Copies of this chain bind each other. A is one copy, B any other.
Amino acid sequence: MFEFLDTIGILVFAMSGALTAIYKKLDLFGVYCIAFVTALGGGTLRDVLIGRTPVGWMLNIDYVYIITLGFVLSIVFNRYLERLRTSMLLFDTIGLGVFTLISLEIGQEYHLNAVVCIILGTITATFGGVIRDILCAEIPVLFRKEIYATLCIVGGILFFILQELQVASNSISLIVVSFIISFRLIAFKNNWSLPIGTVFAKK
């Protein structure tokens, strides 16, 4: 099931990248590139950092096809997709949860410290969007408004607590992904955000 959700996540991440690039009036090649790095940038960075090369998408060409599909859908339907923004948020959030989980598991396979695994999970889920914003010459929205990186971190901590408590592996996956997805939606609904860095200076 997680494979299916992973596919959905990649597709929606690619579409979110493509729509941003279309909005920025990039040409078709630019739109494709931004779709690509938004969908695969986080996982690519993870693989490069831990030395898992050639990086993942090179060994599974399906990813390239999924992104191409997301690219085509975005180009053809971009006017209609605007109205589906809320449904897309749901899928985007699914990607967020699944990508975090997959990377936590890959980190463990490489015998990395729990803290490092959590950082890897957060990088994978969020860095595609950061690269997207850098390529569009903007300060990453992740660093200014979005709360979702925090959810990846808390989800990662939950993952290791449940492992310590010897919860079955399948249940852990389900709990962590559900946690990230539900809190993201609640956060979005209530417009939660992190305080900015001058929080203590304001006193």
Contact = CB atoms under 8 A, between A and B. Distances in A.
Interface of A: 18, 21-22, 24-31, 33-34, 44, 48-51, 53-55, 57-58, 61, 64, 74-76, 78-79, 110, 112-113, 115-116, 119, 130, 134-140, 142-145, 147, 149-150, 193-201
A55 B44 contact: no
Contacts of A44: 49
B197 A30 contact: yes
Contact of A58 (B34, B49, B195): B49
A54 B112 contact: yes
Contacts of A57: 116
Contact of A51 (B54, B76, B78): B54
- The number of times this chain is found in the oligomer is 3
A142 B30 contact: yes
Contacts of A29: 142-143, 147, 149-150, 194
Contacts of A113: 58, 61
A48 B142 CA distance: 24
A116 B44 CA distance: 14
B199 A28 contact: yes
Contacts of A76: 200
A198 B196 CA distance: 35
Nearest to A131: B134
B78 A201 contact: yes
26 contacts: A18-B197, A25-B144, A26-B144, A26-B196, A27-B195, A28-B194, A28-B196, A28-B199, A29-B149, A29-B194, A30-B140, A33-B142, A48-B48, A49-B53, A49-B55, A49-B58, A50-B55, A54-B110, A61-B116, A64-B116, A74-B197, A75-B199, A78-B197, A134-B134, A134-B135, A137-B138
- By Cβ-Cβ distance, the 4 closest A-B pairs, closest first, are A30-B143, A51-B53, A22-B197, A27-B194
Given A21-B143, A26-B144, A194-B29, A49 B48 contact: yes
